[in-house]
Amino acid sequence: MPFAKNNPTSPIKSFLAHHLAKVVALAAFLILSLISMTIIYQNYQAQQQRLIDYSASLGQTSFNSSQKSLALTARSIFVSAIFKDDIFKLMAEAYHGDESVRAQKRQELYLKLYPTYQMLKHDNLRQLHFHLPNAISFLRFHRPDKFGDDISAVRPSIVKANETMQSVSGFEEGRIYNDFRHVYPIRYKNEFVGTVEISFSVDSIFELMLDNHVEYSAILLNKTLIQHKLFSDEMHNYETSAINDDLLEDKEIIGFHDSHSTIQPEILHQIDASIRPQFNPECDTCSFITQIGSSYYLTHLFALKNFLGEKVGYIANYHEEPALKTLKKSYLQVFAVYEALLVLISILIFFYGRNLLSQQEALKRLANIDSLTGILNRHAFKKALNEQVAQSRERKNPMSVIFFDIDHFKSINDNHGHLMGDEVLKYLTLLIRDGITHNDVFARWGGEEFVILLPNTSFTVAQVIAERLRKRIELQSHFNFPITCSFGVTCLRQNDSAQSLIQRADQLLYDSKHLGRNCVTAHE
């Protein structure tokens, strides 16, 4: 005891040791906090990027599919309404007549097709435009007072149709509007007498692009290009984009997909202002996140190319993305738990790992499963299809595909409501799933369209299966109204790719539609 009493260094060492422990503990806390913060934030960024990439992929796929759908619609309009002897005869008489004859034939043509034009306008037909050879405007139904001008300098699609005598399709800017245009040559008694253009506004694309978000869309076009082509008195249809001064926005495009949209003009202005400093004119597909208040908005810009393959602007898609808010909230909560329970590092690792796996599983399910029907979505099906095609080639096994959709599904929604439409989709899924084997890959392609991949199944057997499924649906008594489906059946050929196989099955489905629906069209 005397030694302790007379040794003044003992309490000093104790004091230093006590504070050194605090310093070490604090240093350990800071180091572990830095490590955990880095890991969690990187994980948050990776999940956020996966969500953005998935959303952009869906948007791009929908945009491409919608363009194909418009091309089929234009072809149908041409065949049913214009490909007629009396229409072609009027164009031939106008071609060979003088100005007075042309005026008369122009009036006759206008009166003959005006009712059809008015009806098709409700389906977003924007232009029905007839031209004489050498790209001379003959009759614009949207501007019947403007005719006789040579549009070859601004409409290369017309020039190409004149040169090749073949139909031409694609996006193109014009003297008045920019549209998705479909130009068809007109021949009367084996003589080329002109062309006709069937054009749809970009609104048509926006309406066909399926998405569960409340969203807004716009088209942004190169200012120099528009100023070069447009009639000077039509420039009022455009305004400079807030994203970039070299882009013009078409004001006539109705960008809201929902009358209750939360993306109002003031919100759009704030989003565009946040994108402006980040925008790179060289990008083809670029995405931006904007936080306004407690809401998160995701904006995609998809490169818009004309029929020559030249980039002429962008399709802009804005939508509120609640998943980003959820992701951010989850990130903050996990970080708070890490900081608060750092002393219990083993328990912390357990909860973090469980939370990480749960989030990854939710994202995986979101990426592969259709939320309404519970079967695979298009993304997952394409992956399975690519794998199965490679396996079938390697093992030299047969493989078939059945493509089908519900006939007159829009009428079911209109007459019985969208909730009933959802019930039909879910019941049909159960009906089909009970009619195929566990080896078959069943997926929702989009909307009311479904696809079945039949591994190790010959073309003949696939036809039998499709007919059995068609009959099974036709005879259902679950609903008090009839439900039928149209089917397309094909099998894997030697030189097929996954894409060509699906495209052929899809075309066969459309053939069934043209044959009257509720039937199976098969082609080996």
Give domain status of residue 7, yes or no.
no
Confidence of residue 41 (pLDDT cuts 50, 70, 90): confident
Same domain? For 246 and 329 the reply is no
Identify the domain containing residue 58 by its residue range.
23-69+325-368
Taking the model in full, what pTM does it have? 0.51
Asked if residue 12 belongs to a domain, the reply is: no
Q: 260 and 223, same structural domain?
A: yes
Of the three residues 340, 368, 396, the one that is the final residue of a domain is 368
Return the closest-CA partner of residue 458 out of 511, 391, 392. Answer: 392
Q: pLDDT tens digits, residue range 64-121?
A: 888 888 889 899 999 999 999 999 999 999 999 999 999 999 999 999 999 999 988 8
Which residues, in sequence order, are bridge partners of residue 303?
314
Beta-bridged to residue 171, according to DSSP, are 180, 306
Question: Are residues 474 and 505 both part of a single domain?
Answer: yes
Question: In this predicted structure, which of 19-33, 39-53, 319-333 has the lowest mean pLDDT?
Answer: 19-33
Question: Are 349 and 453 within one domain?
Answer: no
- Determine, yes or no, domain membership for 518: yes
pLDDT at 3: 36
Task: Name the domain boundary from 320, 337, 357.
Answer: 320
**Has residue 240 got a pLDDT over 70?**
yes
**Of 2-6, 7-11, 313-317, minimum mean pLDDT range:** 2-6
- Residue 178, domain CATH: 3.30.450.20
Task: Compute the distance between CA of residue 318 and CA of residue 38 in angstroms, rounded to an integer.
Answer: 30
What's the per-residue H, E or C state across 125-191? EEEEEEEECCCEEEEECCCCCCCCCECCCCCHHHHHHHHHCCCEEEEEECCCCEEEEEEEEEEECCE
Determine the Cα–Cα distance for residues 326 and 295; give it in Å rounded to an integer: 10
Same structural domain, 285 and 305: yes
DSSP 182-242: EEEEEEETTEEEEEEEEEE-HHHHHHHS--SS-EEEEEEEEHHHHHHHS-GGGGGGEEE-S
**Pair 478, 392 in one domain:** yes
> From CA 441, how far away is CA 454, in angstroms rounded?
7
Same structural domain, 457 and 495: yes
Is 111 within the bounds of a domain?
yes
pLDDT in tens, 440-476: 999 999 999 999 999 999 999 999 999 999 999 999 9
10 within domain boundaries: no
449 forms beta bridges with 405, 446
User: In this structure, is the dihedral angle defined by the CA atoms of residues 18, 21, 23 and 25, taken in order, positive or negative?
Assistant: negative
Asked whether residue 450 falls in the same domain as residue 393, the answer is: yes
Provide the CA 476 distance to its chain's centre, in angstroms. 33
Tell me, yes or no, whether 304 lies in a domain. yes
- Kindly state whether residues 400 and 433 are assigned to the same domain: yes
Same domain membership, residue 383 and residue 345: no
- pLDDT, one tens digit per residue, over 179-224 is 889 999 999 999 999 999 999 877 777 776 655 446 788 888 888 8
Q: Hunting for tokens 């003088």 — which residue is that?
A: 98
Each residue's pLDDT tens digit, 333-373: 877 777 776 666 554 444 544 555 556 666 777 778 998 99
Round to whole Å and give the CA distance between 350 and 468: 51
Residue 15 included in any domain: no
CATH of the domain at 263: 3.30.450
Give tens-digit pLDDT for 137-177: 999 998 899 999 998 888 889 999 999 999 999 888 776 77
Q: How far apart are the first and last CA of the chain?
A: 103
Residues with catalytic function:
448
Cα–Cα distances in Å, from 511 out to 333, 488, 502, 518, 519? Answer: 54, 8, 14, 11, 10
CATH number at residue 382: 3.30.70.270
Do 190 and 65 fall within a single domain?
no
Higher pLDDT pick, 9 / 189: 189
How confident is the model at residue 182, as a pLDDT? 93
Split at pLDDT 50, 70, 90, the class of 380 is very high
52 and 184 both lie in a single domain: no
How many independent structural domains does the chain possess? 4
CA 25 to chain centroid, in Å, comes to 54
